[in-house]
Amino acid sequence: MADETRTVQAGGWHDAVAAGRDEGFAFFDWLSAVDRADDAAAPGVDLVCHLYDIATPGALRGLLLTTRVADGEPVASVTDVFAGAAWHERETHEMFGVEFAGFDDGTGLGVRPLLLPDGFEGTPLRKSFQLAARATKPWPGGKEPGEGHESARSPSRRRVQAAGVPPPEWGPR
């Protein structure tokens, strides 16, 4: 069975998640984000939340809620609707830079690092993040057709810069 999908305005995010719960979608599955920086019309991240209605055995229904959040724009936390959302919001904050207003996981410590080491700077799941490993080690997909093979050379093609691969001048020298 296909999930129902609803797109809501960022200002209505909290109310949409609470409404989903009140409509019977009371099982919180996950919350994350998708970087949409390449969308010229409305860059930012899509915040995504997946809920299930498990009340009727054999009739599992899903609800997928999405909202576009502009860079730097806070969105209301849903930790008061689903306590289990705290881990997901911390991860989404750390990996995508989404700010969650009113975040409360019961510790009083606010949104804090979850997965990355202390002192880590940046948001590693954003398209703009430069992967240091790609600066120090050649990317295997960066070869031209025919390079590295003893067979006959293939025709050359335009080089493509893969996402996350820094320009050649980036990094230590």
Indicate the domain borders of the chain.
4-101
**CA–CA separation, 25 vs 31, rounded Å?**
14
**CA–CA separation, 166 vs 43, rounded Å?**
21
Residue 52 has pLDDT above 60, yes or no: yes
Of the pLDDT bands very low, low, confident and very high (cuts 50, 70, 90), residue 76 is: very high
- CATH class belonging to 4-101: alpha beta
Per-residue b or e along 39-68, where b marks 16 or more CB atoms closer than 10 Å to that residue's CB:
eeeeebbbbbbbbbbeeeeeeebbbbbbbb
pLDDT of residue 133: 67
Average pLDDT over residues 53-82: 95
pLDDT of residue 138: 64
89-145: pLDDT as tens digits = 999 999 999 999 999 999 999 999 999 998 899 999 998 888 776 666 666 666 655
Top pLDDT among 164 and 4 is at 4
Average pLDDT over residues 64-77: 96
pLDDT of residue 96: 97
25-42: pLDDT as tens digits = 999 999 999 999 899 899
Residue 154 has pLDDT above 80, yes or no: no
